[in-house]
Amino acid sequence: MAEGKKLWGGRFKESTDELVEKFTESVSYDKRLAPFDIAGSIAHVKMLEKQGILKKEEAEKIIEGLNEILEEIERGSFEWKTELEDVHMNVEKRLTEKIGSVGGKLHTGRSRNDQVATDVRLYVRHEIEEILKLLEKLRKAFVKQAEENLDVVMPGYTHLQIAQPVLYAHHMLAYYHMFKRDAERFKDTLKRVNISPLGSAALAGTSYPLDREFTAKLLGFTDVTRNSMDAVSDRDFIAETIFNCAMVMMHLSRLSEELVLWSTEEFGFIELPDAFCTGSSIMPQKKNPDVSELTRGKTGRVYGDLMAILTILKGLPLTYNRDLQEDKEPLFDAIDTVKLALKVNAKIVGGMKPRKERMKEQAKKGFSLATDVADYLAKKGVPFREAHRIVGELVAYCLNKGKSLENLTLEEFKQFSDKFNEDVLSLMSVEGSVNSRNIIGGTAKEQVLSEIRKIKEEEGF
């Protein structure tokens, strides 16, 4: 092949314009697929030999060359050439330089269409497994926070207004469950990722007697695709993976919002680790939760990746279209962002310290025991809606007198209902309120302890 001639250039009389080469190249970012591209090629070659399409010595020579190229890439000595468009062409061109014309037999019975689909599935499978490990570390950090702070009471909120007292441990486990669902989504996606499209060729399959099940097994796939047209054009698994990343980032962003609020002087609920905060260039007293703020910001970035892939796919006729080259950058960006965000937030959660007295003090505010008083009356036979009205009047009385519910005397309670007895005074503590909610999923210490035990048993923490 003439120097500078494209591998696909036999039909063309003119050289590709330089602007077109810049516009169409993908090797600047898809070179990260190289280990997966070479793994797929080696499996393909082994299958071609098994089927008698390649001679043994040809297969051995090609595989040896591919392994040498992988070593070059890992050493950083491989020269990536933009004019060769993508990772596949760069590897194949280097192979023919190393071993001669037999390198051209690598592509027998294969198209770049099924090749790239295979590469990306191998990459996504690898990255999902990495993300699952990071999600587990984060979940462990929440469980550790819960276990080490079982007696810390804090205000629970609705509408960002103090609602009812809860255990800090209960709050931490709420995040555990969010990230547990995220892991389950990734595991479910993995079932659809781990299917081999190799052997679908350009779009219609191939006339060569390929053994697709053999290559699938070599590459660790659980099955092969059943329709060649769908196989080369399907990127659902990419959209699904980015969606999962967006969900993780949404949960991290919710956590980050709370950490930003909780670390303010106004809330004063937690002390964030110094190593994960920054200072001000002008105000020496500042300790800014920049990592949490950036987590919120980067969530929008991953949402953008999801919108990008959905937009790329929405108008494509079957089968392969060059638009699909644009699937990789949002995928790579979403995965890179979520992995780094998980790593840094696991360390933040592991290192933050609750300010116990401040939390308890705030848990008493905002008439957080009002529902307990209403429940008390309901248990005495007062219809709940009537009990609700009575306690609302009690709260108005307290506001007028500058008192809290726990400071009222029995005589004051009785002004509003004769159902109040001495035992109502024993309810007036945040600890009592918390422990009264002793049902599955409730915030009572007994239930939180039980949940921690179940989690540790299920997860093997």
| Cross-strand partners of 196 | 224
Assess whether the previous peptide bond of 225 is cis (omega < 30° from 0). no
Q: Which contacts qualify for 188-192: CB closer than 8 Å, 24 or more apart? A: 189/128, 189/237, 189/240, 189/241, 189/244, 190/125, 190/128, 190/129, 191/222, 192/236, 192/237, 192/240
Compute the C-alpha angle 182/188/192, nearest 5°: 135
Query: Nearest-CA neighbor of 122 among 74, 87, 157, 166?
Result: 87
Return the beta strands (E) in 230-362 as ranges: 270-271, 353-354
Query: Nearest-CA neighbor of 263 among 175, 336, 355, 365?
Result: 355
Helix residue ranges, H only, 77-221: 87-99, 112-148, 168-193, 212-218
| Residue 280 annotated to the active site | yes
**Contact (Cβ atoms closer than 8 angstroms) between residue 43 and residue 198:** yes
Residue located via tokens 């209902």 = 417
Distance CA 421, CA 189 (A): 57
| Residue 44 annotated to the active site | no
Query: Nearest-CA neighbor of 271 among 172, 353, 215, 384?
Result: 353
Given 15, 111, 228, 280, the catalytic residue: 280
**Contact (Cβ atoms closer than 8 angstroms) between residue 313 and residue 237:** no
Distance CA 327, CA 233 (A): 11
Compute the C-alpha angle 237/241/247, nearest 5°: 145
| Cross-strand partners of 156 | 164
Given 77, 159, 207, 426, the catalytic residue: 159
**Contact (Cβ atoms closer than 8 angstroms) between residue 208 and residue 108:** yes
Q: For residue 207, which amino acid is it?
A: S
Distance CA 320, CA 458 (A): 43
Distance CA 292, CA 283 (A): 20
Which residue numbers are catalytic?
A: 159, 280
